[in-house]
Structure 1
Amino acid sequence: MKYRVLAGMVMAVISGQAAAQTWVLTDAEAGTDKGNWQIDSKQLNASGQPFSIQQKVLHGGKQEGSKVLTITSEQGLTIALSPTRGMDLLQVNGHGVRLGWDSPVDEVVNPAYINLESRNGLGWLDGFNEMMVRCGYEWTGHPVTKDGRIYTLHGKAGNTPASKVEVTVDDKAPHEIRIRGLLKEHTFKKSNLETWTELRYIPGADAFTLHDVLTNKGDYPQDYQIIYHSNFGTPILEKDARFIAPLKSVSPFNDYAQKGLDNWNVYGAPQKDFDEMVFNLVPKADANGKTLAAVINSKGDKGASIEFDTHQLPMLTMWKNTDTLKQGYVTGIEPGTSYAYPVTIEKEQGRVKQLQPGQSTTFELTYTLLKDANAVSKAEQRVQQIQGEDKVSVEQKPIAKE
């Protein structure tokens, strides 16, 4: 009798822990791939907000073989990511607002068609059109050649197909959806980094979270860098749109950006021959190290915000690229461990971090679509609350020169 009771308790614990269903879409180790696949809340008999999850394999042009995995929530967000391109986010849509931008690159380019070393290390641009791309992890920033080695623009993670992709849906309401992907940066004698990326979304919500765990699988210490290059265009970006964040300081990335310091946080209309302006920011955080940054349209009734932990991501870059619509009218909010200078400069200035053998580190960011004036107001209040009475120090000179 005691054995039966104990066995029942054990089974209850196990069932409680396993209150979710998981589908493995890709597994390089097992040599399996589901290809086109879909599931929805009706098939799962899931109550509450309806949703669907679908993977498509693309064909034609440079997107041949690329995959797009899309979560669709009728009352919330539609989130599209690509397991082929580093599990990066392509676009997010909800309530008539788009998080993302229009790049001249109009295909989900398979990394097999990209040479990162072309154009003196700028080949990464041949596939750049994501709403969020992971720039790292072995290195990031502008390209540079050091001791005969080319460190290409923004590293390799964004052009690394996931070796394993899993989709998990909680059995119980609110049926959180988790999409996990394993990125491997393995190079003989150079790098043995692995990152488990994870997107977490509750159907019907206006926000989602990225939870990434980076591990040094090697026997030697390993440098790492990461910038979460998050990009927004129309309808949020427009003339007189604003960037907001609680800050300690702002400085121009280079001499060209120095010319735009007077109105660095206000955007202009699309302008031909506008070269990109980049600003290095030191974020101010609350007592727990949390902060947020946002871009808001001119009327203050739509926008996007990113909340992140400054213990994990102590730097913030603002990329202002208000070129023509066809050329790429876009701004970037970019939390990171580093700025976008070449890895050589970042290392000299002490911003390159390191993992010991077997050590892991976590990065967590929450993205929110600000669908109306009330949501925008709450973000503004949060920024002001963290900023308090402290003034932002505006530095006139770049902290480094390439």
Structure 2
Amino acid sequence: MNPYIGHETQLSGVEEHRLVGGKGDGMRLYEATNGKGLELTLSPDRNGDITRLRYKGINMSYFSPCGYVAPAYYDKTGSNWLQSFTAGFLTTCGLQAVGTPCTDDGEELPLHGSIANQPCAHSYWEEDEKEIHIHSVTKDEVIFGRKLVLKRTVTISKEENTFSIDDHIENTGSKTEPMEILYHMNMGYPLLDEDSEVTIPSVEVRARDDHAQEDIANWMHMEKPQGDYQERCYYHKFEGADGKAGIYQPKLNVGLEISFDASKLDGFVEWKMMGVRDYVLGLECGNCYPDGRDVMRKTGMLKFLNPGESVEYQVNIKLFEK
């Protein structure tokens, strides 16, 4: 024990809080700090996703106008997912679908799936001298349908300003199931503004649609907030397994880098949304693109899990100063 402190959370650790009021009333939050400047908020009532990320007191992520929304308010019809899209640093999209609402193999699928609006079946944290581990389990299981279980561990270093998201997804049912996932990571002001430097060392950049194609030469350049801005999405491909994306704010001398296995998470999306109050940059690795599960099936990019089969994904985040 450190003889200088009364309680271990004086330097680092996790505290559990509960929200009062609004659509988030009653939701549990884990507030974690590593004692070196990294602070994140994790929501066990929303799949163990990360709602806030700060570095040395500076906000790094985007928080949407709808704020905290409890799972009871989730509406899976069409694009109504947006009404409970808190965004935060991480919103997990999937597991039955990612992207555009569609009908695939006779199943009507909502925007971005339902996993982000499901509470964890159970969650807990543990801590040692070097790391904080936050564990959660979310069960996306229904009668007569898919049975997928997501086991997540968020590991926060106490020696450097890094953390990782490790997901283990298993098909606990008796039939082969399609499985899509997208790590919808959202950068926000003041990390994000027109002076931000965005680096994505991909070998190929492709616009999602004609609107994005019109400005593809500026995919890496951010802009000031604009009224009536229409989102632009760019799809990046990497060589081999070395997937990376970063953003640096020169005015604040802070930055963030994401790294992942691009051979597993082979669908990286840059979501450029420069709207007024809707001002966010998504740096999103996934095992598909957000064009709808029906399109992924046609292109051969749709992934499947056999009964009893599992897959593991890891996303690493580093916060830094130059």
Q: Bin the TM-score by the shorter chain.
A: over 0.9
CA deviations 1:249-295 (Å, max 9, x no partner) are 1111011111111211111111111110001111234xxx2331112
| Structure 2, unpaired ranges of 5+ | none
Give SS of 1:347's match.
Answer: helix
Partner of 1:268: 223
Aligned to 2:259: 307
Q: Which residue of 1 aligns with 2:27?
A: 66
SS state at 1:61 partner: coil
Give the Cα–Cα distance (whole angstroms) in 2 for the partners of residues 169 and 298 of structure 1: 34
TM-score by length of 2: 0.93
Which structure has the larger Rg?
1
| Correspondence 1:146-157 to 2 at 5 A | 146=104, 149-157=107-115
Q: 1:56 aligns with which of 7, 17, 21?
A: 17
Match of 2:169 among 206, 214, 221: 214
CA distance 1:299–1:65, shift in 2 (3 Å) = closer
Q: Please state if 1:143 is matched with 2:143.
A: no
Q: Deviations over 1:360-379 (max 9, x none)?
A: 11010111122x2x2xxxxx
Sequence identity (%) = 28
Distance 1:194 1:179 in 2: 17
Match for residue 126 of structure 2 among 161, 165, 168:
168
1:373-398 CA-to-partner distances (Å, cap 9, x unmatched) read: x2xxxxxxxxxxxxxxxxxxxxxxxx
Deviations 1:278-336 (A, max 9, x none): 01111234xxx233111223558322110101132112100000001x2x110000001
Q: TM-score, normalised by structure 1?
A: 0.75
Q: 1:295 aligns with which of 247, 254, 260?
A: 247
Counterpart amino acid of residue 97 in structure 1: I
Alignment of 1:189-338 (within 5 A): 189-285=144-240, 289-297=241-249, 299=251, 301-324=253-276, 326=277, 328-338=278-288
Structure 2: distance between partners of 1:293 and 1:205: 19
| Structure in which a larger fraction of residues adopt helix | 1
Aligned to 1:177: 132
Per-residue deviation, 1:242: 2.8
Query: Quick check: 1:50–1:203 contact (8 Å CA) kept in 2?
Result: no
SS of the residue 1:62 aligns to: coil
Q: 1:94 offset after TM fit, Å?
A: 1.6
Q: C-alpha distance in 1, partners of 2:182/2:170?
A: 16
- 1:31-46 equivalences under 5 Å are 42-43=6-7
- 2: distance between equivalents of 1:102 and 1:187? 31
- Supply the distance in 2 between the matched residues of 1:70 and 1:92 (Cα, whole angstroms): 10
Cross-structure match for 1:9: none
